[in-house]
Amino acid sequence: AGVIQAGFFNSPFSYTTPVICPVEEDSFSGAYLTTQIAPGIYGGNLVNPGPTGSGYSLTLYNRDTAVDADGNGITAEAAEGESLSVTQRAFDGVYLANLGIGQPPNTFIIDFICGEVTFPSQSTNLTCGGGITVGPPTGPNGTYDFMDDTTFDLNYTDDETPDCAFGATQATLRFTKE
């Protein structure tokens, strides 16, 4: 933010200009193999029903391809109730599927912001009393290469509130294009 003082325009007001780096529509979408590099709470995987470290295939949707297996639109919406933006991708998965709890799948949103992979706070459909959420890591975000969508890491905080006895746990999910 800064105060504009030059040229024909002079203002005592501060203007904040958001910076985005749009992601090509066909980048970071389609089939990806996911591998839980660092497990979340209960030693669990974000969406993989197999053991930690095993691969699990899922589909990343962009705002034009956001459909489920039946061709119906997915329920992916950003926290503000808006549809996916040019920087967002979504995927469907059952949170902590490897624990076999049986809750319905969630649609999770990822943001690709100027070289960083961010994960906004979102619900998981599970609770230990108040509602388990996943969201941004306390450390660095994952990164991505604008020119190469073959692999990227999603760093996130599992049980960020902390709702369960384990407390907030830092976790990493690796995506590799299939």
Residue 7 in any domain: the answer is: no
For residue 32, what is the domain's CATH number?
Answer: 2.40.160
* pTM: predicted TM-score of the whole model, two decimal places: 0.79
Q: State pLDDT tens for residues 37-88.
A: 887 777 777 777 776 667 788 888 887 766 555 555 555 444 433 478 889 9
Residue 18 in any domain: the answer is: no
Q: State pLDDT tens for residues 125-171.
A: 888 888 888 999 999 999 999 899 999 999 999 888 877 777 788 99
Question: Region 107-125: what's the mean pLDDT?
Answer: 92
pLDDT at residue 32, as a whole number:
94
What CA–CA distance (Å, rounded) separates 98 from 88? 26
pLDDT at residue 107, as a whole number:
86
Total domain count, the chain: 1
Residue 10 in any domain: the answer is: no
pLDDT at residue 43, as a whole number:
75
Range(s) of the domain holding residue 52? 23-177
